[in-house]
Amino acid sequence: MVVTHVAVALAFAVPVALAAPQFATPAAVGAIVGGVFPDLDLLVGEHRRTLHFPVFGPVLAVPGVVLAFLVPTPLTVALALALVGGGLHSASDVLGAGEELRPWERTNTNAVYDHVSGRWWQARYVFPYDGSPQDLGLAVVAGVPVLLVYDGPVRWGLGAALGVAVVYAVLRRRLVPYFERIL
Ligand SMILES: [Zn+2]
């Protein structure tokens, strides 16, 4: 789920915040933008395809991080974390379920579109579905160091998002009929 993507991306901002506190805020902002960004294709285009780049994303993150080390400014640090967060989000979607309302039925195993090979990567179900206990567990494990190191809006925002994620995880299966009515 998107909260997990944001929590994982923010976990990568933690070492930045510890090593260079003056870049803590741009690192967090970049991580949040990168963690959320791919899923904006829920709103425009085709989900898990239009804004998901499981190959280009992680590859682009490498020069992004190198640039931030060579020229550390708020902008380059934010950009590096955005590329890391977005690349990880795109590539790690393959570890979840396919594009389906009832992922536990495994009716569509297309996980994320690989623009390089021009085909869908198949879901690995390491995290069986969005909002599954495994998914929530990862969000919490990734989120705890963020909550400890950051304060202010990052801590409270992530704390609130994790609270919503717990409710979502509890209700996930029961929400399906409502999702179907909306769609
Ligand atoms: Zn995604």
CA of 1 to the centre of ligand 1 (A): 8
Contact criterion met (CB below 8 Å) for 134 and 126 = yes
Q: What is the mean pLDDT of residues 160-167?
A: 98
Contact criterion met (CB below 8 Å) for 91 and 116 = no
CA of 140 to the centre of ligand 1 (A): 18
CA of 78 to the centre of ligand 1 (A): 20
CA of 20 to the centre of ligand 1 (A): 29
Give dist(CA 135, CA 129) in Å, integer.
Answer: 7
CA of 137 to the centre of ligand 1 (A): 18
Mean confidence (pLDDT) of the chain: 96
Q: How many domains does the chain have?
A: 1
pLDDT band at 100 (very low <50, low <70, confident <90, very high): confident
pLDDT on residue 8: 98
CA of 173 to the centre of ligand 1 (A): 19
pLDDT on residue 101: 87
Judged by phi (left if over 0) then psi (alpha if -120 to 50, else beta), residue 33 lies in alpha
Question: What percent helix, strand, coil does the chain show, rounded to 5?
Answer: 70, 5, 25
pLDDT on residue 180: 83
The pair phi, psi for residue 50, each rounded to 5°, is -60, -45
Residue pLDDT, tens place only, 112-156: 999 999 999 999 999 999 999 999 999 999 999 999 999 999 999
Q: What is the mean pLDDT of residues 68-74?
A: 98
CA of 26 to the centre of ligand 1 (A): 22
> Is 183 a residue whose pLDDT tops 80?
no
Judged by phi (left if over 0) then psi (alpha if -120 to 50, else beta), residue 119 lies in beta
Range of the domain at 27: 2-182
> Is 35 a residue whose pLDDT tops 90?
yes
CA 122 to chain CA centroid, nearest Å: 18
Q: CA 148 → CA 20, 96, 155, distances in Å? A: 16, 27, 8
Contact criterion met (CB below 8 Å) for 23 and 53 = no
Give dist(CA 98, CA 167) in Å, integer.
Answer: 22
